[in-house]
A and B are shown apart, each in its own frame.
Chain A
Amino acid sequence: MAETATKQRTVKFIITRRERPEAAPYTEEFEIPYRPNMNVISALMEIQRNPVKADGAKTTPVVWESNCLEEVCGACSMVINGKPRQACSALVDKLEQPIRLEPMSTFPVVRDLVINRERMFQALKKVKAWIPIDGTYDLGPGPRMAESKRQWAYELSKCMTCGVCLEACPNVNDRNSFIGPAAISQVRLFNAHPTGEMNAHERLEALMDEGGIEGCGNSQNCVRSCPKGIPLTTSIAAINKDTTKHLFKKWLGM
């Protein structure tokens, strides 16, 4: 049987890389064989298997992070064709080529596409984004949550700390102390919980401190970018309301 000489369909990638956190970034181009239903992760795996650039020269494999591969862990967030999003849910068939991959450089870049999202976890600690129930004896069941409240609170609980909202925000940078939208929305979530509500003032006060809610400039890029569709700007405005009330209550000694 004569082989028909059709050219193998390929996918072109332009990837921003760097070797070390303080090293200068550079770009490399890759052309990898197309397979149906590829996503950006499977393309990166292909580069890992065969780390050869588009010009044929060998290079080091591109480093990235990923975990769940179903857009619930947030680990594979990167800037794809200019927009921050998860690489696992970025389907090659739906992307304009060449596909440009960059790290979310609002965060410290560790290597290539790997970033350090520690500031987000520090933010969750700062605002005490948990419900304290530990003690030396059984505290018994907490108060019940109204179903109507549970429904909108559930939407807030979808946050996976992926960092897309911080990357999109023009006020998350090293000149600004803004905590970022994600942690503010978590304060709203835990303050909505009937048991969490008992410590609501602690979370509000953490946001009224330096490096809290004050840096929000209402650009609303966060709500447009959130992959989970979390109403981040509603959360921010609701917490603005709660912190304002808390401020006046404190002044009046209530």
Chain B
Amino acid sequence: MSGNSYLPRKLHSLLGVIPLGLFFIEHALTNYAAFEGGQQGFVDAVHGIHKLPLVFFLELFIIWLPILFHGVYGLYIAYQSNYNTGRFSYGRNWAFALQRITGVITFIFVFWHVWNTRVQVALGNTTYEELGNHMNGIVSNPVYFVIYFIAVIAAVFHFSNGLWAFLVSWGITVGPRAQRISSNICMGIFVIVSVLFLLSLFAFRSDEFASAAAAFSPVMFG
């Protein structure tokens, strides 16, 4: 490789937390509204987000462009690494390997997930009001539910462990004690955010969201 990869690596690390990590937390909370507030709560939460001014540009600069760079450059980072957990089966080395594996899973999942949610709204196949029912249609399929289940846990791990690595890469947690404490906090975040997403996944499977779902079948790849 020619050129200097110092800045792209730093940018990759930064974008993973700001803005993508913040959006990820926001996404978890919006979905959680489906568990806490049911159908109406979820519709209100989605509306709250999409009523923001200049929402197209917010999506473009806070989500789409950062995720494109983070994802594509992340694949390159995963390609640049060896995997030696067989010889060095330490916790952090496992986290290193899993960070790359979950990154690739998340990359593929996000494409599919954006295709069958946001893109379907853009194509006019569903609306923001019907998104909950649309999700019900997807996660009622056991295969898609399992894919969502695994991918959500992978994405949350990637975010939480990435946050730990961000703190090291930017020189915020320097000593072993700081890194151990931040590791515990990040694993706490992993559990909490996973629970938020999984509760919403189960909420989308409930009858409440099924009511209107029968009216249409979800659009999938192919």
Contacts from A to B (Cβ < 8 Å): 82-83, 168, 170-171, 173, 175-177, 208-210, 212-221, 224-225, 231, 233-234, 236-245, 247
Number of interface residues of B (CB under 8 A): 36
CB-defined A-B contacts under 8 Å, sample of 8: A82-B87, A175-B79, A209-B4, A210-B1, A214-B9, A219-B96, A241-B171, A242-B171
Is A220 touching B79 in the complex (CB atoms < 8 A)? Answer: no
Tell whether B3 is near chain A: CB-to-CB under 8 Å. yes
Contact of A218 among B2, B10, B92, B171 (CB under 8 A): B92
Beyond the given A171-B80, A221-B84, could you list 10 further A-B residue pairs with CB under 8 A, ordered by the A residue number?
A: A168-B88, A170-B84, A175-B79, A218-B92, A218-B164, A218-B169, A219-B96, A224-B88, A224-B90, A240-B171
Q: Which residues on B sit within 8 Å (CB–CB) of A212?
A: 6
Is B169 touching A238 in the complex (CB atoms < 8 A)? Answer: no
Tell whether B210 is near chain A: CB-to-CB under 8 Å. no
Q: How far is the CA of A170 from the CA of B173 in the complex (A)?
A: 22
Tell whether B141 is near chain A: CB-to-CB under 8 Å. no
Within 8 A of A (CB), among B1-37: 1-6, 9-10
Tell whether B176 is near chain A: CB-to-CB under 8 Å. yes
A77 to chain B, nearest CB (A): 15
Is B83 touching A170 in the complex (CB atoms < 8 A)? Answer: yes
Q: Which residues on A sit within 8 Å (CB–CB) of B93?
A: 170, 219-221
Tell whether B217 is near chain A: CB-to-CB under 8 Å. no
Q: Which residue of A lies closest to B94 (CB)?
A: A219
Q: Which residues on A sit within 8 Å (CB–CB) of B172?
A: 241
Q: Which residues on B sit within 8 Å (CB–CB) of A233?
A: 168, 176, 179
Is B96 touching A244 in the complex (CB atoms < 8 A)? Answer: no
Q: Which residues on B sit within 8 Å (CB–CB) of A216?
A: 169
B85 to chain A, nearest CB (A): 9
Is B169 touching A208 in the complex (CB atoms < 8 A)? Answer: no
**CB contact under 8 A between A221 and B179, given known A170-B81, A214-B10:** no
Q: Which residues on B sit within 8 Å (CB–CB) of A82?
A: 87
Contact of B90 among A171, A220, A243 (CB under 8 A): A220
Most buried by A among B5, B77, B99, B176: B5
Contact of A237 among B3, B92, B171 (CB under 8 A): B171
Q: Which residues on A sit within 8 Å (CB–CB) of B6?
A: 208-210, 212-214, 243
A145 to chain B, nearest CB (A): 20
Is A210 touching B168 in the complex (CB atoms < 8 A)? Answer: no
Q: Which residues on B sit within 8 Å (CB–CB) of A231?
A: 176
Q: Which residues on B sit within 8 Å (CB–CB) of A238?
A: 171, 174
Is B168 touching A215 in the complex (CB atoms < 8 A)? Answer: no
Q: How far is the CA of A245 from the CA of B170 in the complex (A)?
A: 9
A162 to chain B, nearest CB (A): 17
A214 to chain B, nearest CB (A): 4
Is B169 touching A240 in the complex (CB atoms < 8 A)? Answer: yes
Is A175 touching B80 in the complex (CB atoms < 8 A)? Answer: yes
**CB contact under 8 A between A214 and B82, given known A221-B93, A241-B171:** no
